[in-house]
Amino acid sequence: MLIAQLSDPHIDLERPHKAAAFGEAVRHLLGLPMRPDALIITGDCTEHGHPDEYGEFQALLRPLPMPVYLVPGNHDDRAEMLRRFPAPAGALPGFLQYVVDDFAVRLIGLDTQIPGQGRGELDAGRLEWLDARLSEAPERPTLIFMHHAPLKTGVQVMDALGLDGSAELCETLLRHPQVARIVTGHVHMALTQRFAHTTVMTCPGTDATLQPDLSQPRKMVVQYQPPVCLLHAWSEATDLLTFTSLIGDVPWTVLHDGQTWAPAQPGAPLRS
């Protein structure tokens, strides 16, 4: 099973480069040698939560043949997302928080939004729902996806917009060792940290990448670098592996056909 992850496109009709970058990410997914079984998008789908921004976002997703699963970020409008992307049966009422049981890996989307605030939270109701859902299938490998990350980045401006309820989430997950990964967005950086019995990974945004200066926690640089997507691959032989896939036209200079190495044509795509 292969799960693709994109995050933080921040679609804004007044800044078309954001939609262009997300459109390039969609084309990248279509060109992967192995097509993903599903795409998860970990929030901040739009910049302002306006209906016309969601219309553009939906149009950019339209070429994708695989199912797309979303959770809201702090820039999103939860009600508008629920209207356009209805949650599956069994979702937590009033939230975009739900289980996907259609694959070898169980997917659980958590809604960390606090409307009108940059911070996120997992309150008692959302955590009780999660605890109950995890208790339903203790033998199933599970991937949790959400917007806010339950970790400290070392960047003051981002940590001020962190996740309330992180300690309670950790306590909940200690009872459920089947959670193979927690994947998030929000921080626009690629970070990995141990959490409870599992690992938290953050996916950089397709919009922009933050470059922290850890020697000066108040400083932060926003760069428009080539975006990336994360590819979460699961099999019984390997368990859950996560790859980083650079989005854009990257030349491949050497290929391997399973037996031998051979030079590739300059600029040749990975798929022959």
Instruction: Write out the H or E segment, with its range, that includes residue 27.
Output: helix 16-30
pLDDT by residue (tens digit) across 71-117?
999 999 999 999 999 999 999 999 999 999 999 999 999 999 999 99
Q: How many other β-carbons are positioned within 10 Å of the β-carbon of residue 13? A: 15
Q: What is the pLDDT of residue 44?
A: 98
Name the residue with higher pLDDT: 156 or 202: 202
224 within 8 A of 238, measured Cβ to Cβ: no
What does the pLDDT average to over 211-217? Answer: 72
Residue ranges and CATH numbers for the domains of the chain are 2-263 (3.60.21.10)
What are 201's strand-pairing partners? 183, 192
The pLDDT of 189-194, averaged and rounded, is 94
DSSP state of 71: E
- Determine the pLDDT at residue 265: 53
H helices then E strands: how many in the chain?
Answer: 6, 17
Q: Does the pLDDT of residue 30 top 60, yes or no?
A: yes
Give Cβ neighbours of residue 218 (< 8 Å, ≥ 6 apart).
156, 157
Span 1-27, pLDDT tens digits: 999 999 999 999 999 999 999 999 999
Confidence of residue 227 (pLDDT cuts 50, 70, 90): confident
What's the CA gap between 74 and 157, in Å, rounded? 15
Q: Burial letters for 158-173: b for 16+ Cβ neighbours within 10 Å, e otherwise? A: beebbbbbbebbeebb
Tokens of 10: 């921040």
pLDDT of residue 271: 46
Whether residue 179 contacts residue 144, with contact meaning beta carbons closer than 8 Å, is answered with yes
Top pLDDT among 8 and 154 is at 8
- Least confident window among 13-27, 63-77, 240-254: 240-254
Predicted pLDDT at 267 = 44
pLDDT in tens, 196-213: 999 999 999 998 887 777
H helix runs in 137-198, sequence order: 156-159, 166-173
